[in-house]
Each structure stands twice: as structure tokens, then as C-alpha cells.
Structure 1
Amino acid sequence: MSTKTYYKTEEIGKGKPGFARTRSIIEAAFYGNNVTKITSLKEAYKLAKDSPGTIVTDMPVYKGEELGLEPEAKVLLFNDGPITGRFAAARRIVGDPDVDSARLDKSLMNAIYYTRFQKLYHAEVYIGLDSEFMVKAHLLIPEGQENLMYSWMLNFQYLSIDYVKKYKDSKVIPNEPDIYIFSDPFWKGTRYVEAADPEYLTYFDPANNCGAILGMKYFGEFKKGTLTLAWAIANRHKYVCCHGGQKKYTLENGKTFVASVFGLSGTGKSTITHAKHDGKYDVTILHDDAFIINTDTCSSIALEPSYFDKTNDYPAGSAANKFLLTVQNCSATLNEDGKVVIVTEDIRNGNGRAIKSKLWSPNRVNKIDDPVNAIFWLMKDPTLPPVIKLNGASLASVMGATLATKRSSAERLAKGIDPNALVVEPYANPFRTHALSDDYNKFKKLVDEKNVDCYILNTGEFMGKKVEPKHTLGILEAIVENRANFKPWVPFSDIEIFEIEGFIPDMTDKKYVQALKDRMDDRVEFIKSRETFKEGKDKLPKDALDALIKVVSKLNSL
């Protein structure tokens, strides 16, 4: 599928697809006489390289020609300032009950007006790397922010000859217009509107494929903001939106196993996705962050070619640094040859980041045609053993809807907050804009109708004992090779356990059982809270809550 860029006269007008209010404010800005269209990645690189403040390192871009760059291209470093992470509090979605769209639209009009004396760049990319699902996205960004634009074009798929042809060959969906994003990192909300208005704003109208990113310099806002809108389109067209990783194992006997892993930051999502398992299998990687699953065929499509990784994981000398394209919020120094190189560890600030080339994974694919075999919810819940299998479709899906991790010991909590209570992010996707029930029903369909297995992997601690990566990867290998001996986890009827030495739950230990019950109660309360949160937008079907209550009831019987 592809999105719509051009309109016949009879298709233009009020109430027709592509012509809502917020979108009309945003799209018009792209046609101003102060806008310059950027038509190639090479042009974007030159602009970023020459932008004031850019650090042009002496580190070459590996095989730059294969990526659409000149052979002499260098890794570019740019530092944004003190904000080095996403600011979730600035996020506003048209249609949410607490969002005053009329007021925000006026702020947006003002933001666009004040860019009239600036030169603006218009860049384009594709999101989705197979003709089955490709949407076109447009970004408008002021002069001076060339590094953000260049990283955006690297993170997604620039309009290469091959991909332009692939896009033209895909079927246009008439009611899905292209994505348009207006951005102004220089914006200061208090300059234009009332002092009470936010200084930072990410404002999205997912129903009309548009958004604005204002006052934000951190690249993650641009990456995830764009994905927010692409996932909204996918959700409307029979796809499960996945903020996770997927890989395909091919065993010596020719059998294959496709695994999808979902987890919050620090739960091991990327580690598991890219694990090579000491060469035991032929492994192919779809992506470690953004993909979609077709709920009819169960095939999967990657949305991005590149990777946006934490640089703290790759110190000086790491082989992975060979594949860096751009770097954000890191320091630089001179090596023994007098060459400018990056300092990748988080010395300057936390959360140093980089765009890493698709060539980092030589076993990358853009689509896995084989149907997904298993879903793994990655959690840090100290009451769960390293692995359990969920057999009921409702339970399997609702545990994803209550995907959880333990609070950080460094987190400052308000009075009365239980430090042991779980932090929940449904399906590990804070960028979802559609109703939670959409994801719930689609994951439930995969388990119920498509025979996809569902597991929970606890990658944190189990009652004070650390679950090491070797345990998690060993469990995965046992499941992939069909030698994991799962058996009923008494007293539950829909949960099985694969017992790992040193991590076997003692169901006669009342203290343990109470802790497990408390964490399941956290999930029950979360699902109940969705009935009123945002006026019930995320309310789940009755069977979701029933599945959790059934688990708690079994624990109460002990």
C-alpha cells in the first residue's frame, strides 16, 4: 500500500480525506516561497556538514555509497543542549478528551507564521520497507536544524531509485494521505500565546496523518513522532503495531522459528534481537525497534532501515562504531593520530545516541514472509520466574496490555506510592494513539486464531536473584529447538512453567505467593483504571479483566 500525495479537483474539499483543520494548517506551510525541497541524501549530508556547530569527525561512513552518500562522507556529531531524551509530558493527541485542539491549532498557526522569515527545508522519506506497506512522510524544518533533517532521512528510507520504483508499484489507499510534520526546534510557546501554555509541544492528529514538533531538539522526538503517525495508519489496515524486535531462526534441519520480542527500555529487547547464539543458527533480523505484523498472513514488515542506538553500550574501539552515521549528545576528542573521534560513553550527559547503518546487521531483511511463531513479553517483575507460557488468548493478550517493569531505585516517588508497584506500558508502546482495545484484539487474534505461542521472559530479578542474559538466551534456544519442557504451573490452568534451576517458585511460601498476588493485583487495577482514563478510550473487553481476576482467584485459594 502507499499513501496519497496528489488530488483530483473533485477530491478536494471540506469533509474529504486529507482536508481536516489541523492538517490544513500544517500542509499549507510546505508550499511557502521560503521552502527549499531537499531531493537527495547527499544534499542533506552537505547541509548538515556545513551547519554551524556540526562536528565533522575523521571517522568515515562505512560503505557510504551503498547508503546513498558520497564515498568520502564522514560521521557527523551534533549536540543539542541539556535535553537528551524524549519529553512525554509535551505530547498532545487530537481527539483525546483533555486536549483543546482549537487552542493548540491557534498556537500552531502562530508557530508557522513566525517561521516566515526563516528558510525552511522540505524533506521526504518512506516508512515501511516493502511494497505491501509503504507510506510517504514529509518533514518541514528550519535552516539551522540540518542535522536533525539529515538524521531523519537516514533513520527512515530516503527516496532512492529502487524505493521510488517500489513505491510506485504499490497500491494507493485512497483515504490515507501522506504524513506531514511541521517542526520548529527554535519555538518558544510562551512567546506566542499565554504564559500558561507549554514551552515544548508535540502535537499529533493521527486520524489525518499530520503533526507538529515544537521546541524539541532531541532526535528521538522526530523518530518516534513520525512512527506515531505511521503506526496509526498501519492500525487502520489490519496490522499489529509493534514497538519491539523480530528475528527468524533457521535450524540445521531447515525448520524456521520467528520470534517477536516486546519490552520497555533496559529489558533486553535489542540484545535478544541481535543475539547470534554463537553461530548455532542461521539468524535473520527484521528490526529491533519498529515493525508491523499482518493479522491475516502473520508476515512482518520493518518500518526503518537504520538503528537509533544508545552509544553508552559501545565504548571507544568497539567494532560496532564502524557503522555509525550520525551521533547526538556525545563528546569528541583527538586520537593518537590527531584525528577527531567521538567519545561514546555517557560522560558528557546521559543517553548519548547514534544513527547506525543497516549494514551493522549483515543478516537484515525488510520483510519476513514466514508467519510469526511466538510472542515474548519482556518484563522486570521480581515475582515471575525467568519464563512462563500463557495458553489462554485473553490472558496472553492482557499480559501484554499490562507489560510491566520494576521502578528504578533512583526514581523519586510521591508520598503514598508503593515502590514495589509495577510500572505498566501496554505492549511497550508509549507511541500508540489508537484505542488500546485495537492492540488487545489483534494480539488476541494472533494467539487464538493464528496459533502464535505467547511467553513472558523475566529479564530482571526473581525474588532477589538476577536473571542473567545467559539464562534468557538459553531459554530462547530451548524454545526454538522445541526441547523446553513446559509443564502446568499449579495452581493456574492457563499458565505453564519451564523450570530453571535456582529460579523455581515455591508456591508453599506465603510471602512469595502474596508478592505474586500483589503484582497481579497491580495489573487488575491498571485494567480497571482504563475504564475511566481518557474517558474510557482505552477500556478493554470484559474477558481481559476476567483473565487476570482468574489468576488472582487461584492465588487466593492457596
Structure 2
Amino acid sequence: MASKSTYEFYKDDLKSIPPTRAMAETLICDPRVRTVSAAEAYELARRQTDVIQTDLPIYPPAASRLGLPEGATVLNNVHGRIVGRTAQARRFYNRMPAAERRKVLGDVREAFMALRERPLIKAHAVVGLDPDMMIKATIVAAEDDAMNVFNWLVNFTPYEELAEQYEASTVLPVPDIIVVGDNHWTVRDPYYHDEGGSQLALVDEDANVMFNFGMRYFGERKKGTLTLAWTSGMRLGWAACHGGIKEFDFSECDDAPKNIGKRSIAFFGLSGTGKSSHTNAVDNAGTLPAGSSKVVLHDDAFQIDSEEKVCRVWEPTLFDKTDSRPLGHPEWDYCISIMNHGLINADGKVLPMGQDLRNPNGRALFDRDLLGDYVNRCRFPDLVCWLTKDTTLPPILRFSNGELAVAMGASLMTRRNLAENVSEEELKKLVFIPFANPFRVYPLWKDVEAFLGVMDHGAQCYCFNSVGFWKHSDSDLNPIPLKTSLTLQTSILLDKLEWRDWDLLPGAQIPTAETVNAVLPGFAETYDPDSVDAREAYLTTLEDRFAQRRRFLEQSDLNEAPELLVRLVKALRITR
């Protein structure tokens, strides 16, 4: 088997079992906590007061795989004020002072006491689809939270479905994952984040345990589980990737593309930066050459093994925003579950409207068949792309310096969006999310080392700006249409661009006017950083953005690795 049970992992020294793990394991061992299948969780979820059954059929192959009855329809889990992730609720057990740990552990034991007053269920899943990267996971919840259990089984893979492959998979020196959730937890204590009720997401990455209390949103269970999976992969020396990756095969094309053969490209960016659009684009807005083919690994979560030169996937489904999928969109055919959707009675059928009409951040779980051809492992990324929202950067940059490339990833700049539970004021701020992964629970220097390894093993790094490029000011911009970005993606895949050094940022390059205008007429003139209006204001803003990047890294836990910090900060220099 792959990961290890609590006993198998700690049997040589049972006294080393962390208390968080001991509490979770004790709960799992209670015979009154009954194990449910996906079909049983679905039936329980249909009875929840915050769940509405629609007339949209669940994608039939997925329904069959999950053991659901023929004709099963999609369930809509609807919430109140909070319809996104709440980062402020996260508490990191291994970073707490001793007194704080004792307090939180006492509160968690009380939470478990309250949870056990209701009928409890548990379910088992396999996280990871490649036989060299499989971890067993267990979720525990009350029966009145069965919707989250069902969605969790959909998002990962019910254990029974992969039992044979799992038992034959590579043994990994990591413990199984355990997630415990209670939507109805309440406590009056200013220590905990409170927004209409107390909230706690307690992470113990060493024990591979997470508790979600007072949090309804499924994304908390999903990303909590992935947080532990990514961290387990990091223990094994694999780079954790909150991103998408696809692999192209140009060998059946005519002329020059044929000589490229296979090439993979990865995208890292938060919601709204174009990660899914870049990863899942059918034909890159019609710019791919005839005869090319592609497979997608995933658009959200994978791991890079630089030594073996492969990437491996964690999930069999897509957890997507649906603001661009209106009523009747063909991709609804692949739907398995939805949350926080407005519904409408259309010709006697209750259907999801999409488009975020009820609230921001409407979400759906789609089968991966939506992507067309997909794989559970693919080649090492030939191209790595950071997706940023920085108005001072051209639509695309290439990095000739690996340290600058990693420094840009470690200080990836974006803006908050409505997928996150933050204030209106926070939505206006520029923020830094290293490598687009807000779920990192280990020191940043470990990610920096991992991605330096990716660059050292041959990946070429780029940066795409998806917000718009300075025209007259930071708010008066030349837009960067998605089709432009997709055309640029195809151009770098096919080596159509030549590059010149960008004198303002040593180690960065921009496309030569002749080669980029050949694929996008007028591009060089529209997005030329040397001919922007209000150039002095532009240069001042550009310098400020890079000063912010340097300050962010200097104030991060990269201070634990001072040599790395110096190398990255030195690379982030604007020269006039």
C-alpha cells in the first residue's frame, strides 16, 4: 500500500503520535462512526436543509463510477454570507507556542465532544491517481454535513474505486491524511476568526491532520486535504504545484512544428488570472497547428518530480468557478455537483443559471472528461508560466536568469478576488502569493529550493500579465485579451518568438518586434515599455512594484535561508 496508517507510521514509537493525530484517530476508531459510500453520502445530502435537488442529470459516467442510482441529479449546496475560503481562520499547530497549543487542543477536544452528540459518518478516499503517488485519506463529519462528504469523495476518488491499484502502489513514508469537519461548531472566543460565527481551520502538516470547524464551504475541505497532500509530496522532494499543466504532441504536424515533438507547459496563478483558461483551452483560440494533439494533467493541483522528470496528478475532477457558464452551456453536461448557485425553473426543470447571479464564487465539480484527453502523469514541464496581475509588466516576459525566474514566482503579485472571503478593502489591494499557492504550510525557502531545482533541470520560465498593460497610468491600460495571451502561449510552444533583453530588468526578455508582430500585428507598438505615456510615472511605479517584491521576500521566512534570500532579492532590481 502507499501511505501508512497511524499504527504503521508510528509503531516504532507510539509516544511520538501528535495529540491532533491521536484525537482524530480515536474518533475514527469509534464503531458508532459509520462508513458511508458516495451513494450513501448522496442520499444523506439530499435531506440536508441547505441542499436543493436540481433536475440537471449528474454526468452519467461519473454517476456510474460513484455508484449512484440511474437518473441521479445534481445537488446544489447553498450557503449564507460566506461563499468562499477564509484564510483568516487558519491556525498552524506546529508554529504555536506551547501555551497556545494547550489552549487550542482543549478547545478541539470540546469541539469533538459536541460533534459526537450527533450521528457521525466517515468516508475513505485515495488522493493521487498515479501508482507512485497515492495517499489514503479519511474524512469524518456529522450526517447533517453529508454534502461535504459526498463532494469530497467526488473531488478525490472513493477508496473502493482504486483499492486494487492502491494496494499495489509504491509505499510512501508518509501517514494517511485525516480531515474532521463540523459546520455547526460555535465558541465565543476572540482568539478565533469570527464572521457570523466562529471559524477554525487547524493544520498539523506533520501529523497529516486538518480540522475544519464552523466552515460550510466545500473548498475548505478540498484545499485542506490538498494542503496535506502537497506537503506530503514536498517531504518526498517533489515541488508542490497549485497550477495547471498540459502536454502537446506536435509530431503529426506538417513542416517545422513536427520537429518539436512533445512539449509540456505549466501555469501558476490564482483564480481570475487565467490558469484554467490557459490550461483548458481547446485549441488556444484557433492558433494551434493542424495535426497537433494535447493531453491535460489537471488545471489546479499536481506535483513535479524533477529527479524522475515527471508530473503526477492528485484529483480526478475539476472544482471550477461557473461565472462564465450560463444556462444551457454545454459543459453543464459534465457536472456532478454544484454549490452556491442561483436556480431557475426553465420549462418545468430546475436548473443552475451559473454566471454568479445569486452570489459571487458559484462553483461546480465537473468530471475530467470535460478536458478531452487527460492523463494521470505527464512529462516534466518544458515551460513554466507565472500568471500575474501587474500593470507595469508587458503581456509576456521570458527569464534568462533562473534566480530571477524563481524570485518572480516567490513574489507572485496579484489582487484578491471573490473566491476568497475578504473585505471590500482587501479586494483593492495588491497581494503576494508565492507560486500562487496560498495553501503552503512549510517555510517558503523549501518552495524556492524546489523551483530552483525545476529550473536547473531544464524548465524555461515565462511570465504572463493578465490584467492589462500601462497606457497612460496604472488605471488607464491597454487591455490584454485572452486570445492575445493564448496566441502568445502557442508562439512560445512553437518557438516562433525571438527575444531581446529588457534593459529595465536584467535577466528578463521581451519578444522582438519583428517576430511578435508576425503573429500579433501591432503588438510590439501597443505593449512597448519603452514608449509608454507618462514614462516617469511608469518607471516610478515599476520600481515601486519591484521594491514591494523585495520587501515581501525580506519579511518572509526566507530569512531562515539567508543565502537564498540574498540571491533572490539581488535578482529583483530595476535599472534605469
TM-score by length of 1: 0.91
Residue identity over aligned pairs, in percent, reads 30
Match of 2:175 in 1: 177
Q: Secondary structure at the match of 1:484?
A: coil
After the TM superposition, which of the residue ranges 52-61 and 299-308 deviates more from structure 2?
Answer: 52-61
The alpha-carbon distance between structure 1 residues 98 and 377, as it changes in their structure 2 partners (threshold 3 A), is farther
Match of 1:43 in 2: 40
Please give the alpha-carbon distance, in whole angstroms, between the structure 2 residues aligned to 1:146 and 1:526: 41
Match of 2:544 in 1: 518
Match of 2:370 in 1: 360
User: Does 1:392 find its partner at 2:401?
Assistant: yes
Match of 2:473 in 1: none
Output the aligned Cα RMSD. Answer: 2.4
Match of 1:481 in 2: 494
One-letter identity of the residue aligned with 2:176: D
Match of 2:282 in 1: 276
One-letter identity of the residue aligned with 1:325: I
The alpha-carbon distance between structure 1 residues 114 and 6, as it changes in their structure 2 partners (threshold 3 A), is closer
Please give the alpha-carbon distance, in whole angstroms, between the structure 1 residues aligned to 2:381 and 2:191: 48
Please give the alpha-carbon distance, in whole angstroms, between the structure 1 residues aligned to 2:417 and 2:541: 18
The alpha-carbon distance between structure 1 residues 527 and 37, as it changes in their structure 2 partners (threshold 3 A), is same
The alpha-carbon distance between structure 1 residues 48 and 492, as it changes in their structure 2 partners (threshold 3 A), is closer
1:420-431 to 2 correspondences below 5 Å: 422-431=430-439
Match of 1:533 in 2: none
User: Does 1:542 find its partner at 2:542?
Assistant: no
Q: Secondary structure at the match of 2:447?
A: helix
Shift of 1:392: 1.6
1:63-142 to 2 correspondences below 5 Å: 63=60, 64-97=63-96, 100-142=100-142
**Given that residues 527 and 539 in structure 1 are in contact (C-alpha distance below 8 angstroms), is that contact kept between their aligned partners in structure 2?**
no
Please give the alpha-carbon distance, in whole angstroms, between the structure 1 residues aligned to 2:297 and 2:27: 36
Shift of 1:50: 3.6
One-letter identity of the residue aligned with 2:465: N
Shift of 1:167: 0.7
Shift of 1:70: 3.0
**Given that residues 407 and 571 in structure 2 are in contact (C-alpha distance below 8 angstroms), is that contact kept between their aligned partners in structure 1?**
no
Match of 1:255 in 2: 261
Please give the alpha-carbon distance, in whole angstroms, between the structure 2 residues aligned to 1:214 and 1:439: 28
Q: Deviations over 1:100-150 (max 9, x none)?
A: 222111111001111222110111111111111000110000011111110
Unaligned runs of 5+ in 2: 471-476, 513-522
Q: Secondary structure at the match of 1:520?
A: helix
The alpha-carbon distance between structure 1 residues 455 and 479, as it changes in their structure 2 partners (threshold 3 A), is same
One-letter identity of the residue aligned with 1:272: H
Shift of 1:7: 3.2
Unaligned runs of 5+ in 1: 531-535
Shift of 1:35: 0.7
The alpha-carbon distance between structure 1 residues 550 and 172, as it changes in their structure 2 partners (threshold 3 A), is closer
Please give the alpha-carbon distance, in whole angstroms, between the structure 2 residues aligned to 1:8 and 1:434: 24
Count of matched residue positions in the alignment of Structure 1 and Structure 2: 535
**Given that residues 249 and 282 in structure 1 are in contact (C-alpha distance below 8 angstroms), is that contact kept between their aligned partners in structure 2?**
yes
Shift of 1:10: 8.8
Please give the alpha-carbon distance, in whole angstroms, between the structure 2 residues aligned to 1:274 and 1:393: 27
**Given that residues 524 and 545 in structure 1 are in contact (C-alpha distance below 8 angstroms), is that contact kept between their aligned partners in structure 2?**
no
Please give the alpha-carbon distance, in whole angstroms, between the structure 1 residues aligned to 2:272 and 2:9: 51
**Given that residues 378 and 458 in structure 1 are in contact (C-alpha distance below 8 angstroms), is that contact kept between their aligned partners in structure 2?**
yes
Q: List structure 1 segments (4+ residues) > 6 angstroms apart after TM superposition.
A: 407-411
Q: Secondary structure at the match of 1:145?
A: helix
Shift of 1:295: 2.0
Match of 1:503 in 2: 527
**Given that residues 329 and 353 in structure 1 are in contact (C-alpha distance below 8 angstroms), is that contact kept between their aligned partners in structure 2?**
yes
The alpha-carbon distance between structure 1 residues 440 and 77, as it changes in their structure 2 partners (threshold 3 A), is same
**Given that residues 437 and 539 in structure 1 are in contact (C-alpha distance below 8 angstroms), is that contact kept between their aligned partners in structure 2?**
yes
The alpha-carbon distance between structure 1 residues 168 and 93, as it changes in their structure 2 partners (threshold 3 A), is same
1:262-341 to 2 correspondences below 5 Å: 262-277=268-283, 278=286, 280=289, 281-336=292-347, 338-341=348-351
